[in-house]
Chain A
Amino acid sequence: MIRVQAQDFDVGAEIDALVAGNTQIGGVASFVGYVRDLNDGNTVSAITLEHYPGMTERKLEEIEQEARRRWPLDATLIIHRYGRLEPGDRIVLVVAASAHRQSAFDAAMFLMDWLKTQAPFWKLEATGDGDHWVDARESDGLAAEKWSKEE
């Protein structure tokens, strides 16, 4: 399941709802991303996440399908927020549930690495020097590429 939304989410409630009624699941791995107050040495007072409605949902669904093709997963969830967020706010949640922990851990990492480079989101940071768009990091591209090689 994927969701793109402005509002916050409750991690515990989301995981409970995802695994409810599926007793094949032996483990759940999750990752929660937060807005940091410091990026590349700049103090960040807020970020605004812009996205491409339509393509965002399509790409997140593709990324989720790719994870389910690679690992034996019983359930997956991606929630990505957009709009104005402040330091300490949750940005993103990925959850992977499987019979065994290794698939859950690997799939959760894969989902994060792939969505960073493939889902059409862009961050505008508000800092003391004004607003500026965040540049993509080479390390994010390399993290996503690692999974291509292992395919």
Chain B
Amino acid sequence: MKLVYFAWVRSKVGIAEEDITLPDTIGDMKTLLEWLRGRSDGFADALSDMTSIRFAVNQEIAELDQPISDQDEVALFPPMTGGQ
């Protein structure tokens, strides 16, 4: 699975993107986020307040119950702040 991080999520986790092999126990966004939180202090900090985290699966905004597989691209980022 390809994981990509943007804005302060990227700063906190310390990398912009990575390829991982998804553990068999992870089947949706909720379990992926729980697993990511346990990887490092940076991930735990970045994902501590879920009200300020948005995510996309294959470049579409997704919810916690979104099923995911090893072929997916998952992006984690804060609420968007484009425009003027």
A residues sitting closer than 8 Å to B (CB atoms) are 31, 33-34, 49-52, 54-55, 58, 80, 91-92, 112, 115-124, 133-136, 140
In the assembled complex, how far is the CB of residue B53 from the closest CB belonging to chain A, in whole angstroms?
Answer: 12
A33 touches B84 (CB 8 A): yes
What chain A residues lie within 8 Å of B11 (beta carbons)? Answer: 133
A120 touches B83 (CB 8 A): no
A52 touches B81 (CB 8 A): no
Task: Judge if B26 is at the interface, Cβ distance under 8 Å.
Answer: no
Docked complex Cα distance between A33 and B9 (Å): 26
Q: How many of chain B's residues have a CB under 8 angstroms from any CB in A?
A: 17
In the assembled complex, how far is the CB of residue B60 from the closest CB belonging to chain A, in whole angstroms?
Answer: 8
B84 touches A122 (CB 8 A): no
Q: A54-B59, A58-B59, A120-B56 are in contact. Are A49 and B82 (CB under 8 A)?
A: yes
B75 touches A92 (CB 8 A): no
Docked complex Cα distance between A76 and B40 (Å): 45
Docked complex Cα distance between A140 and B8 (Å): 20
Q: A117-B79, A118-B61 are in contact. List 6 more A-B contacts (CB 8 A).
A: A33-B83, A54-B59, A115-B82, A122-B7, A123-B82, A136-B81
Contact residue among B59, B61, B81 (Cβ-Cβ distance under 8 Å from A122):
B81
What chain B residues lie within 8 Å of A117 (beta carbons)? Answer: 79-80
Interface CB pairs A-B, < 8 A, 21:
A50-B7, A51-B82, A52-B56, A52-B77, A55-B56, A55-B75, A112-B83, A115-B82, A116-B81, A116-B82, A116-B83, A119-B80, A120-B6, A120-B56, A120-B77, A121-B81, A121-B82, A122-B77, A122-B80, A135-B78, A136-B79
B6 touches A91 (CB 8 A): no
What chain A residues lie within 8 Å of B78 (beta carbons)? Answer: 122, 133, 135-136
In the assembled complex, how far is the CB of residue A144 from the closest CB belonging to chain B, in whole angstroms?
Answer: 10
Docked complex Cα distance between A58 and B60 (Å): 9
Kindly identify, within residues 18 to 73 of chain B, every residue whose CB is under 8 Å from any CB belonging to chain A: 56, 59, 61
